[in-house]
Structure 1
Amino acid sequence: MAPSDPALLAAQAPPGPAFPAAEAPPDPILVAAEASPDLLAVANAPVVWMCALGVFAVIFAQTFVYVRAARTAGPEIGMSRADLKGAYRAGAVASIGPSLAVVLVAVALLALFGTPAVLVRIGLIGSAGTETASAGIATGTAGVTLGGPGYDPSVFALAFIAMSLSGGMWMLATLLLTPVLDRGGKKLGAVDPAIMTIIPAAALLAAFSMLAVTEMPKSGVHLLTVLSSAAVMAGCLYLASALKARWLKEWALGFAIIAALAIAYLAHTA
């Protein structure tokens, strides 16, 4: 008997069971909505949309008030219109990184809380860790996993209230402690005016340094990202000083953020 051809045997063999194609993970809020059809209606209720629009209306109003106050106070402290415009540009560039982080947070939370609720929360806080921790604790008290079975409108409302109270305490603490810190700052300034120049700069430097230091030990990619962004920032500041290019100093942070994002992406995909 001639040896069998493996390809011919494979062609004559009966078809085996078909393997199902890989499916995308289900949307938690849609899964919960199948068990409770009212969940999507509650998550996208008109009153929630009105709250979201109200939050952003307050943000725009605050922005207008601050810009107007800066234009009024600027000439009194020797800042020209050109200086103010430069400060506006620097602030806009500096907001690129935090804004990207907020967008990523919003995308991560959309599946759990719906669009208007996420807009309300992200418009005020922007911390995915804080928001999900508050919601997770709240749903846990009801014996339900966040986005899991039993995540019905009542549990959604419970999680939303917990997140709102968490954010409210942040704003309340700011409202109460800011005048206290202001009085303390004035007393320190009366003793030595240079102190109030050093302390805010040192506090900002310490805060952002700690954020960077906590990320560096996580992996080589984290370390590479931090070092590369620092190198780009230092290079931009050096060139701005050497070339007397003021615009480069204003855009240095934006360039450092974009370079760090690109390097982190390439390092992850390499």
Structure 2
Amino acid sequence: MSDYLSIANSPIMWLSCFPLVLLVLCQAVLYTRRAFATAVKMGISKSDCVKAFRAGMISAIGPSVAVFIMMVGLMSAVGSPVSWMRLSVMGAAAGEMINAGLGAQAVGSALGAADFGIRAYAAALWGMSLFSVAWIVVLVFIPQMNKVQVKVEKYDKNLMTLISTASMLGIMSYMTMENCLTGLPMIVACVSASLCMVGLSRTVKKLPWLREYHMGIAMIVGIVCAPVCAWLIGG
């Protein structure tokens, strides 16, 4: 196992992974600049843009903490450079772990197993990489999706909004229930974050500046309550 880790964390792997991370950083800067420039053309003030940017940044803290925790486990399995690169692009640490495991399983091994060597490591990286191929299908069908949207909006302008909202609610509800079924700590995280969100939503009426932070605060409350519940159960 130590042989593959020496390769996984070698300077050549850092050099190989860094260009893609740099590309992601450049994209973030370019998209932000383009968003601010487009907002000006649409008559949106710079102060509103800054508020929206700050709200999004704060709301991203909760998911980022979860990704960072999963990243630690991924680093121990496939090394720091690849973990850094993959999570910079995908951001789905749990999915990356699963696909790396499937790749290792294809050659008769498993992540963290005693027989997990260079061959299994290469298969794990292939599993993670092939996971991204599915996004090419999405890219190919985007023009067709736009045509469908135009036709639907001609029939009813509000129909696409209803479909998008229903889809988002369905996805979020499924993911919430799936996590809640894993144990009491997850249920506590969901309930505590939901109650916090409801309470903050009411407080926003008196403290409008809190509107930018209430989602991020609710996420942090859920993240804190879950391990506290697990600790109490364990104790």
TM-score, structure 1 normalization: 0.78
- Secondary structure, aligned partner of 2:204: helix
More displaced 10-residue stretch of structure 1: 184-193 or 103-112: 184-193
Give the alignment partner of residue 52 of structure 2, picking from 49, 72, 87.
87
Q: How does 1:111-260 map to 2 (within 5 A)?
A: 111-166=76-131, 168-241=132-205, 243=206, 245-260=207-222
Decide whether aligned partners of structure 1 residues 225 and 143 sit closer, same or farther in structure 2, where only a CA change above 3 A counts: closer
User: Displacement, 1:231?
Assistant: 1.0
- Secondary structure, aligned partner of 2:227: helix
- What whole-Å deviation, never above 9, does each CA across 1:58-83 have from its counterpart, x for those lacking one? 11111112112211211333321122
Question: How far apart are the structure 2 equivalents of 1:218 and 1:180?
Answer: 38
Decide whether aligned partners of structure 1 residues 93 and 177 sit closer, same or farther in structure 2, where only a CA change above 3 A counts: farther
Decide whether aligned partners of structure 1 residues 234 and 117 sit closer, same or farther in structure 2, where only a CA change above 3 A counts: same
Decide whether aligned partners of structure 1 residues 213 and 140 sit closer, same or farther in structure 2, where only a CA change above 3 A counts: closer
Percent of counterpart pairs with the same letter?
Answer: 26
Matched length? 232
Counterpart amino acid of residue 209 in structure 2: W
- What whole-Å deviation, never above 9, does each CA across 1:177-199 have from its counterpart, x for those lacking one? 33332222222223222223333
Larger radius of gyration: 1
Q: Say if 2:7 is the partner of 1:42.
A: yes
User: Displacement, 1:256?
Assistant: 0.5
Question: How far apart are the structure 1 equivalents of 2:134 and 2:91?
Answer: 12
- What whole-Å deviation, never above 9, does each CA across 1:186-243 have from its counterpart, x for those lacking one? 22223222223333333222222222122233333322221111111111111112x1
Decide whether aligned partners of structure 1 residues 95 and 173 sit closer, same or farther in structure 2, where only a CA change above 3 A counts: farther
Question: How far apart are the structure 2 equivalents of 1:182 and 1:47?
Answer: 42
Does the CA contact (< 8 Å) of 2:62 and 2:223 recur in 1?
no
Unaligned runs of 5+ in 2: none
Q: Say if 2:61 is the partner of 1:99.
A: no
Counterpart amino acid of residue 35 in structure 2: A
Give the alignment partner of residue 58 of structure 1, picking from 6, 13, 23.
23
Decide whether aligned partners of structure 1 residues 258 and 139 sit closer, same or farther in structure 2, where only a CA change above 3 A counts: closer
- Secondary structure, aligned partner of 2:213: helix
Q: Say if 2:43 is the partner of 1:78.
A: yes
Decide whether aligned partners of structure 1 residues 132 and 255 sit closer, same or farther in structure 2, where only a CA change above 3 A counts: closer
- Secondary structure, aligned partner of 2:181: helix
Question: How far apart are the structure 1 equivalents of 2:84 and 2:136?
Answer: 20
- 1:23 is aligned to none
Counterpart amino acid of residue 171 in structure 1: W
- What whole-Å deviation, never above 9, does each CA across 1:250-270 have from its counterpart, x for those lacking one? 100111011112222221222
User: Displacement, 1:156?
Assistant: 1.1
Does the CA contact (< 8 Å) of 1:105 and 1:127 recur in 2?
no
User: Displacement, 1:50?
Assistant: 2.2
- Secondary structure, aligned partner of 1:144: coil
More displaced 10-residue stretch of structure 1: 150-159 or 54-63: 150-159
Give the RMSD, CA atoms, in angstroms. Answer: 2.0
Decide whether aligned partners of structure 1 residues 221 and 254 sit closer, same or farther in structure 2, where only a CA change above 3 A counts: same
